Chain A
């Protein structure tokens, strides 16, 4: 399952596009109270922990910019994703244990909280929006999906990574 017949650049492109397209698609069976998981966080977490801080921050910049272009609210996820990429990238060099699914789930929850906190700060508290409801529902769902999705992608990126070449 991990050995997909795709090279590393193609895999990055396909999986990154999939994360953006899923942000648009929001299938109802993957929503919690009308809110989808944060697909960007689910993609960025395994990428950053395998490839390191610089690659994580760059991926956060690219993904955030592309995701911002898919909505007209003027809000941006770029700063939060870049910071998350930098932070998660340090887990690789520090050789902290990541295979435990609870760790990935917890990191994804914190990542989703960070992105939503970034939006709330840009709206100076969220305005009339139910900020707590949005943040908690999305973070919980992202944390639930993170163990299977991120574990799989950690394995995929490690197989293809030049940093982990055997």
Chain B
């Protein structure tokens, strides 16, 4: 009863009329929070557009994309031929979206990039982000706004990616450590691994397409418990990334 009276007093039109600007501010604040800062990041993208990275690295991305397109055409031709012969396999791969890195926070409490391409360009949450070279994994899209996208990097302390060694297929979990080199924890005790081995995304991973290059084993700790651990040098160093590809 008392609560009901208090609520009725709060809902009094005069009070609402007196405080409506503050209510608007509160609603605006909540909207920005729920949209993960979309208006701020879009404003940032708009204002920083004249300072976006140059086209040199963009050209590498374009060349890599061209090679990939050619491979795709060859694959489609092969598939068409197989269709004619009645033994087709499902099509694999799709063209990526080039995006400039407009904000880089690769040190500190969280490690993320903001890209200058968003839902208007076809970027979707969950997509893989690779460097300008041959399909070197950088991270994963975690949120998008109309003109920007946020990437959680492999080096972020919250990042966990299923990976395997190219060659012997030993499975492991790549954990971000907040430094430039993430840690690979193997699942099996008996693993044949040595510095220089190539790490790729696992065929069992549900987050990333299999076979994307992640990095190279830099050092191995065979004595680690319960299974060996290794430090991985990433193929796509975040500090020098100006353009990336979203797949």
Which positions in A face B, CB cutoff 8 Å?
17, 20-21, 24-26, 33-35, 62, 65-66, 68-75, 116, 119, 123, 127-130, 134, 138
Contact = CB atoms under 8 A, between A and B. Distances in A.
Interface residues of B, number: 35
Nearest to A20: B40
B40 A21 contact: yes
Interface stretch (B30-38, B71-79, B200-208): B30-38
B108 A138 contact: yes
B109 A75 contact: yes
Contact of B110 (A66, A71, A116, A138): A71
Given A65-B33, A68-B33, A72-B110, A128 B103 contact: no
Given A25-B103, A26-B103, A69 B157 contact: no
Interface in B94-145: 103-110, 112, 114, 142-143
Nearest to B143: A72
Given A73-B109, A73-B110, A129-B178, A62 B43 contact: no
B238 to A, nearest CB: 10
B241 to A, nearest CB: 14
Given A24-B105, A73-B156, 8 more contacts: A24-B40, A26-B104, A66-B33, A68-B33, A72-B142, A72-B150, A73-B109, A73-B158
Contacts of B33: 65-66, 68-69
8 contacts: A24-B114, A25-B103, A66-B32, A69-B33, A70-B41, A72-B142, A119-B109, A123-B109
